[in-house]
Amino acid sequence: MTIDPIHQFQVQRYVELLHVSGVSFSFTNSAAFMVGIVAIIFFFLTFATRGRTLVPGRMQSVAEMSYEFIAKMVRDSAGTQGMVFFPFVFSLFMFVFVANVIGIIPYTFTVTAHIVVTAVLALLVMGTVVVYGFFKHGTHFLKLFVPSGVPSFLLPFIVVIEVVSFLSRPISLSLRLFANMLAGHIALKVFAFFVVGLASAGVAGMFGAVLPFAMIVALTAMEVLVAILQAYVFAVLTSIYLNDAVHPGH
């Protein structure tokens, strides 16, 4: 095996389902993990709430806490009207969270370390903001780019800035998650290769390998933090952006 810290991100085609003029549609390891993530989320939450007990057990508490956590997040950011997006934000958070956490396990594939995945998620968010905003408020939605109380001579600049900031949202939203996942996993792999390299260099090397190994332990702990934090950040920013769809007038 060659030293290749980006091998872990390789998409492998398991079954090619369709191939039309250079575009292929296949069942890949990425797809398998996505299906697995959805299955884990659904079956865990269903299993955890199977008792529907009045006094929750441990698992039911986890399910209820995640529910209340996201519900509070959406309500705080987007208000009560924003609660229409609660299932959407909840799905997003759970998907990103489980994808990130699963990715920390060695030999797994990190779905969210692919920019196309995070970009689609981010575009889904922004697309929802735009579509729902126009659907609900019509042209009034454009007020989002025209803040009130701004001197008229500044208004054109402000509008340009608002538009640019709006357009940069999906980019920052997707890049943040993608870069965090990618960088963390590459760092982990690099240190893992140090361990292997040093350990194969003799007895002294074996002792030396303890250092990068300790580093892996520390980095893994940090990756767990990052995985949870990035899922949280993604969900919070989503709620804040969705607030624009509900209340475009600020």
Interface ranges with other proteins (CB under 8 A) = 6, 9-11, 13, 21-28, 30-31, 34-35, 37-38, 41-42, 45-46, 49, 52, 54, 56, 60, 63-64, 67-68, 84-88, 90-91, 94-95, 111, 113-117, 120-121, 123-124, 127-128, 131-132, 135-136, 178, 182
Nearer to other proteins, 127 or 202 (CB): 127
Q: Which residues contact 135 (CB under 8 A, 6 or more apart)?
A: none
The least distance separating other proteins from the CB of residue 93, rounded to whole angstroms, comes to 10
Please give the Cα distance from 243 to 236 (Å, whole number).
Answer: 11
Please give the full DSSP string across 25-81, using - where no structure is assigned. Answer: EEEEHHHHHHHHHHHHHHHHHHHHTSS--SS--HHHHHHHHHHHHHHHHHHHHHTTG
Q: Quick one: tokens of 159?
A: 């509008």
Does residue 37 contact residue 196 with C-beta atoms inside 8 Å? no
Nearer to other proteins, 117 or 209 (CB): 117
Please give the Cα distance from 163 to 237 (Å, whole number).
Answer: 17
Buried b / exposed e across 164-177, counting CB within 10 Å, b at 16+?
eebeebbeebbbbb
Q: Quick one: tokens of 177?
A: 């998650």
Nearer to other proteins, 102 or 113 (CB): 113
The least distance separating other proteins from the CB of residue 187, rounded to whole angstroms, comes to 15
Does residue 19 contact residue 33 with C-beta atoms inside 8 Å? no
The least distance separating other proteins from the CB of residue 95, rounded to whole angstroms, comes to 6
Nearer to other proteins, 22 or 138 (CB): 22
The least distance separating other proteins from the CB of residue 245, rounded to whole angstroms, comes to 9
Nearer to other proteins, 133 or 212 (CB): 133
The residue type of 168 is S
The least distance separating other proteins from the CB of residue 133, rounded to whole angstroms, comes to 9
- Taking CA 91 as the corner, what is the angle to CA 90 and CA 93, rounded to the nearest 5 degrees? 65
Nearer to other proteins, 39 or 217 (CB): 39
The least distance separating other proteins from the CB of residue 38, rounded to whole angstroms, comes to 5
